[in-house]
A = this chain, B = another copy of it.
Amino acid sequence: MNTAPSQWFEASIAELSHLQNLRVWSIIVSLFGDLAQQPDARISGTTLTRIITPMGIKPEAIRVALHRLRKDGWIESTRSGRASVHFLTEFGRSQSAAVTPRIYARDPQPPAAWHLLIAEDGSGQTALEEALLLPQYISVNRSTALGQGAVPEGVEELFAANVSQLQPPRWLQARLFPDDLIETCQALLTALQQLSFPAEISAVEIATLRTLIVHHWRRIALRHPDLPSHFHPEHWVGPACRARVFDLLDQLPQPTLQELDQSASS
């Protein structure tokens, strides 16, 4: 068995766990995205449990969450001897890959070019809703979408125009960066500022901490688009939070799956 967890580790986990209710299936999605996104990446049940249980999550809850993720087509599980191993399905991997660039962008450059798509009152909103399914669009109001880059082909039903010198009013800042997002981001930054790590950390400890940091950051990074800073409301600390996330992840270099399995069974 492993030695008892050290004080700094328990304190770090406590900082990161009190932020919000952790949904186990979502933690597992963060974990696979961070540590096992490659097509051949497999994590043993033992390793998964050793990474997640320090967060205060019971093995039974992990089993339930894995069951749900299998049912939703995200994860598959097989047996290797007496041990179970888990891996992302093709679907799970593509979902994960789709958001990885936004989560892991250290210094995202907001696009220089933007366009607007404007729908006719009433029925025109259907055409707009189709555009808003694409990740490069931001909903401005019921009939307007702000899109990255120049006006694309195929938007004949919408009034389209390239735009410059965007002047977002307060209501738009508040729509894009709602108060609860601002507060969540402030709380994460505060928690991350408390963290400091010793020189020697086990691969599993690294995995637990990385998963928690990435998990919390993912829930912030994916909730706001990359926009020029004059779109940010007054108390938005997103850029500082992002900088701290990557500062910490640099101190917790990603372990290989082999290192993890060895560390987990030590």
Contact = CB atoms under 8 A, between A and B. Distances in A.
B167 A164 contact: no
Main secondary structure of the interface of A (DSSP, over half): mixed
Interface residues of A, number: 33
A144 interface: yes
Copy total for this chain = 2
A159 interface: yes
Contact of A159 (B120, B140, B155, B161): B140
A157 B120 CA distance: 22
A181 interface: no
Given A118-B144, A120-B172, A162-B164, 18 more contacts: A114-B161, A116-B118, A118-B140, A119-B141, A120-B141, A120-B171, A121-B141, A121-B142, A141-B143, A143-B143, A143-B144, A156-B169, A156-B170, A158-B169, A159-B168, A161-B165, A161-B167, A162-B163
Nearest to A172: B159
A140 B151 CA distance: 18
A125 to B, nearest CB: 10
A124 interface: yes
